[in-house]
């Protein structure tokens, strides 16, 4: 089945939003892993006073994996539609393709990540507003009827 034929523009927007999140987090997380002092990103470790971390290594690893690699894996899954048992088990929406649910989850995760980050840093910067909005946009686009319809399973392929 050719997945690009008949794909609504909203689905393309979902792919773009997830790729933007993934690429941005790979860059930011990678920079924090390379230089846990934060100097590379012009972020002093004093920013971490309200956090359990003494440097940016662990947050950088989380950022790189959870918000860098995972959104790109979700895009792959949405396009190629592999049947991965673990992903299917995480999907409570049995009439929708399992990677659709991961898209919704990554939007929630992004909102939580930014909320916790702004609390720990005790400040809000423009980048927080942008990435909080990105999490909200990913959720909003994911739940659009046209996106849900595109990723709905027909009766013959519904999981039990």
pLDDT of residue 4: 53
Residue 46 scores a pLDDT above 70: yes
> 18-34 pLDDT, tens per residue?
999 999 999 999 999 99
Specify whether the backbone of 81 is left (phi greater than 0), alpha (psi in -120 to 50) or beta: left
Please tell me the predicted confidence (pLDDT) of residue 154. Answer: 74
Percent of the chain with pLDDT over 90: 86
| Phi, psi (deg, nearest 5) at residue 28 | -65, -45
pLDDT tens profile 70-125: 999 999 999 999 999 999 999 999 999 999 999 999 999 999 999 999 999 888 99
């Amino acid at each position: 089945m050719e997945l690009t034929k008949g794909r609504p523009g909203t689905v393309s927007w979902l792919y773009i939003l997830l790729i933007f999140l993934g690429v941005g987090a790979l860059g930011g997380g990678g920079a924090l892993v390379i230089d846990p002092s934060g100097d590379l990103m012009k972020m002093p470790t004093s920013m971490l006073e309200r956090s359990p971390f003494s440097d940016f290594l662990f947050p950088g690893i989380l950022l790189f994996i959870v918000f860098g690699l995972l959104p790109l894996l979700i895009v792959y899954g949405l396009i190629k539609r592999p049947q991965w048992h673990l992903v299917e088990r995480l999907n409570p929406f049995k009439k929708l393709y399992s990677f659709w649910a991961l898209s919704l989850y990554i939007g929630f995760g992004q909102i939580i990540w930014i909320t916790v980050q702004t609390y720990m840093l005790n400040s809000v910067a423009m980048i927080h507003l942008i990435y909080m909005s990105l999490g909200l946009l990913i959720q909003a686009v994911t739940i659009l009827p046209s996106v849900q319809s595109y990723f709905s399973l027909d009766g013959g392929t519904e999981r039990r």
